[in-house]
């Protein structure tokens, strides 16, 4: 898909909820590696599309509100100039992860 996006000048956005512990708590996977997979995907997309064609958004939960500095630091570490916030929706796994703690 990345070559198609590049050829058609499509920008993309990935979900990055903050540092590893918070991101993995919000987006649980059997290998507990959601954060690492996200960073690998962001890097691959930046290499294919260009650094400025990849943004990230953060899904905010009650737990996220306890870590504002760590979330901002995570975005700065990975070169994002801004943070787009998205409220937690009551669909899918969102309700289950709303009460998870990193």
Task: Spell out the domain ranges in the chain.
Answer: 2-87
Q: Which residues contact 7 (CB under 8 A, 6 or more apart)?
A: none
For 19-48, the pLDDT digits (tens) are: 999 999 988 888 889 999 999 999 999 999
Sheet holding 12-15, edge to edge: 12-15, 54-60, 84-87
pTM summary value: 0.81
Using one digit for the tens of pLDDT, what is the confidence trace for 66-80? 999 999 999 999 999
Give the whole-angstrom CA distance, residue 19 versus residue 17. Answer: 7
């Amino acid at each position: 898909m990345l070559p198609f996006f590049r050829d058609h000048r499509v920008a993309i956005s990935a979900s990055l909820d903050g540092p590893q512990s918070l991101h993995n708590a919000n987006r649980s996977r059997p290998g507990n590696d959601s954060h690492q997979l996200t960073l690998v995907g962001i890097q691959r997309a930046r290499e294919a599309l260009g650094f400025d064609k990849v943004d990230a958004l953060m899904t905010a939960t009650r737990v996220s509100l306890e870590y504002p500095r760590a979330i901002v630091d995570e975005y700065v570490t990975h070169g994002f100039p801004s943070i787009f916030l998205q409220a937690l929706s009551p669909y899918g796994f969102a309700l289950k992860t709303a009460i998870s703690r990193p």
